Structure 1
Amino acid sequence: MFSVLRVPKLGRVWAGQFVSMVGDGVYTVTVSLYLLHRDDAPRALGTLLAATALGGIVTLVLGGAVADRARRSLVICAADLLRILGVASLLLAGPDASIGLLAVLGLVFGCGAGVHRPAYTALIAQLAGRDRRREASALRAATSRFTGVIGPVTGGAVAAASSPGAGLLINMVTFVFSMATLVRLDEPPPGPPADGSARAGLVREALDGVAYVRGRGWMLAVMLQGTAQAALVIAPMAVVVPLVMGGRGPAALGLVTSATACGALVATLAAPRIRSRRAGNVAMLGLLCELPQIVTVWAGAPTAWVVLCGAFAGAGASVFAVLWGAALQERTPDGMLGRVYALDALLTQALVPVCVAAAGFLLGVLSPAALTAFAGCALILTVVAVLPVPGVSTLGSPTEREPAVTRSGTAP
């Protein structure tokens, strides 16, 4: 997996994005602490996070289209500038900024994140080349898992040693470092349509990305499964697990969170070695690895069992992420990567903010056990429902090749 870093320019891009992703973890912790002293802290933080999520969602598809028609390193730099603007404005406004201003700043930061994600994912795949995309997918997933552990820890340490504002400043510095690694990268742009015709408009190209996915039933089916799982399983468990485990003390919740991250990291390192003609079945089995943790939380099992099953759940999720990411990279033409990744992220994230809020409301009516049981049933049903779709079990036909690109940048 790490051998892919020897590919020219890829190691340089990865280093910048690694530092930037650590900064994202620092931001996650320190922005919460930054607003914590306010009398309306829950409302203020909720407004900022909801606006950030909304900004990311509304810009994902267009961000993918931009990443497929411009140099992706420049798109990432533009996204970093947007996020620097958002964090700098928050620091200038201070922790007592109005709710309306927090909503605006959250939108700015979220738009930067929405533009960044498809451009970064597509750039890594582009630099790796088609024959090393599985290793690149694993490296990207491992980086995300690892920085997801050390970033928040670093943020907490900085806030304790100095102040939350110092953590936000560090976040800005990581964006600057990211931009420095991308200066004069000079990677080739995705290129014009193969027939030499003029490009379609940006909105049309974004819609072409949707049409491309719709034309591949297996791809759309797995993306819709991700939508259902994120809304019906991940969202409620994101509320239930902290509530149940947090009631046993900070150490219990910390152990579960760390175990999930560690299991995910270990599986990410091993997943690139998986070779199966039924990669889709293996990937879906990985998703079902979350079921034991759901059962232990539902049953009120001892903390040690929840921790062990948390590691198992993290490992399974990583196996799915690596195999699914590799399939998208192998089955999608370079000029369409940004849009396909953007649509995948959009479908996964679109309902999560609403469903997390709904889960919090339902816990005032239902017990944690009832909501957990619902999540477990939903997990089984969403996985079983998608398996019969042709192409899902193999994540695409073995004979499927990169299609020719037409006038609007999509396949016929």
Structure 2
Amino acid sequence: MFSVLRVPKLGRVWAGQFVSLVGDGVYTVTVALYLLHRDDAPQALGTLLAATALGGIVTLLLGGAVADRTRRSLVICGADLLRILGVAALLLAGPDAPIELLAFLGLVFGCGAGVHRPAYTALIAQLAGRDRRREASALRAATSRFTGIVGPVAGGAVAAASSPGAGLLINIATFVFSMATLVRLDEPHPGSAADGSAKTGLVREALDGVAYVRGHGWMLGIMLQGTAQAALVIAPMAVVVPLVIGGRGPAALGLVTGATACGALVATLVAPRIRSRRTGTVAMLGLLCELPQIATVWAGAPTVWVVLCSVCAGAGSSVFAVLWGAALQDRTPDSMLGRVFALDALLTQALVPVCVAAAGLLLGVLSVSVITAFAGCALILTVVAVLPVPGVSTLGSPPKQQAAATRSGTPA
């Protein structure tokens, strides 16, 4: 997996984005602590986070279109600059800034994040080349998992040793470092603008990305499964797990969260070595590894069992992420990568804020056992429903091609 870093320019991009992702983790913790002393802290933080999520969602598709019509390193720099402005304005406004200003700054930060995500994902795939994309997908997933552990820990340590404001300054510094690694990168042009087709406009290009996915039923099927799983499984469990396990003490919740992240990190190192004629089946069954965690929460099992099953859940989700990400990269032309990745992210995220809020309300009238039972059944049904779709079991690759790849030891 790490050998892909020897690809020219990719190691340089990865280093900058690694530091930037750590900064994102620092921001997640320190921005909450920054607003914590306010009398209306829950409302202030909720407004900022909701606006950030909204900004990210509404700009994903257009961000993908931008990433496919110009140099992706420039798009990332633009996104970093937008987020620098958002964080810097928050620091200047102070922790007692009006709610309306927090909403606006959250929207600015979210727009930057929405533009950044498809450009970063597409640039890594583009630089890796088609023969190294499974390794690149695994590296990207491992980086996300690792920084998701390190960033929040670093943010808490900085806030404790200095102040939350210092953590926000560090976040700005990580964006500056990211931009410095991209200066004069001069990567190949994605291709859509080179032939003049980019002149049709961003909205038209974004819709072209949707049409491309619709023309590949297996892609659309798995993306829609992700939408259903995020809404019906991930969202309710995101509320239930902190409620149930957090009630046993901060240490218990920390163990469960850390176990999930550790299982995911280990799986990203193993997943690129998986060779099967039915990689899609393997990927989809990996999602079912979340069932034991759901079952232990449903049954009120001892914390040690929830921790062990959380390792399994994290590992299964990472196996899916690596295999799905690699297939999506391999089956998509370079000139469409940004839009396809953006649509995938959009469908996965769009309903989560609403469903998280709904889960919180339902917990007032339904028991934890009912909600977790529903989540477990929904997970099984969504996976089973998508498996018969043509191309899903092989992730778009004909079975003969999968078999040849398995024998040769290279991804199809």
TM-score when scaled to structure 1? 0.96
Q: 1:137 aligns to what? A: 137
Mapped partners of 2:7, 2:282: distance in 1:
29
Mapped partners of 2:194, 2:63: distance in 1:
22
Q: 1:231 aligns to what? A: 231
Structure 1 residues 6, 61: closer, same or farther in 2, change over 3 A? same
Displacement after TM superposition at 1:365 (Å): 1.0
Contact 2:76/2:116, CA 8 A, preserved across alignment:
yes
Write out aligned runs for 1:6-405 (5 A).
6-192=6-192, 199-398=199-398
Mapped partners of 1:323, 1:212: distance in 2:
20
Structure 1 residues 354, 196: closer, same or farther in 2, change over 3 A? closer
Mapped partners of 1:385, 1:398: distance in 2:
21
Contact 2:68/2:192, CA 8 A, preserved across alignment:
no
Q: What is the root-mean-square deviation in Å for CA atoms of aligned residues?
A: 1.3
TM-score when scaled to structure 2? 0.96
Mapped partners of 2:399, 2:247: distance in 1:
52
Secondary structure at the aligned position of 1:289 is classed as helix
Contact 1:192/1:199, CA 8 A, preserved across alignment:
no
Mapped partners of 1:192, 1:329: distance in 2:
16
Structure 1 residues 205, 364: closer, same or farther in 2, change over 3 A? same
Q: 2:405 aligns to what? A: none
Structure 1 residues not aligned, in runs of 5+:
402-412
Q: 2:406 aligns to what? A: none
Structure 1 residues 198, 152: closer, same or farther in 2, change over 3 A? closer
What is the letter of the counterpart of residue 37 of structure 1?
H
Contact 2:125/2:137, CA 8 A, preserved across alignment:
yes
What is the letter of the counterpart of residue 36 of structure 1?
L
Structure 1 residues 285, 37: closer, same or farther in 2, change over 3 A? same
Mapped partners of 2:203, 2:349: distance in 1:
21
Mapped partners of 2:78, 2:339: distance in 1:
17
What is the letter of the counterpart of residue 183 of structure 1?
V
Contact 1:331/1:400, CA 8 A, preserved across alignment:
no
Contact 1:224/1:347, CA 8 A, preserved across alignment:
yes
Mapped partners of 1:143, 1:173: distance in 2:
19
Secondary structure at the aligned position of 1:199 is classed as helix
Contact 1:230/1:351, CA 8 A, preserved across alignment:
yes
Mapped partners of 1:380, 1:274: distance in 2:
23
Mapped partners of 1:198, 1:391: distance in 2:
30
Mapped partners of 1:269, 1:192: distance in 2:
33
User: What do residues 199-226 of structure 1 show as CA deviations (whole Å, max 9, x unaligned)?
Assistant: 3211100000000000001100000000
What is the letter of the counterpart of residue 190 of structure 1?
P
Displacement after TM superposition at 1:144 (Å): 0.2
Secondary structure at the aligned position of 1:290 is classed as helix
Mapped partners of 1:270, 1:13: distance in 2:
23
Displacement after TM superposition at 1:399 (Å): 8.1
What is the aligned-residue identity percentage? 89
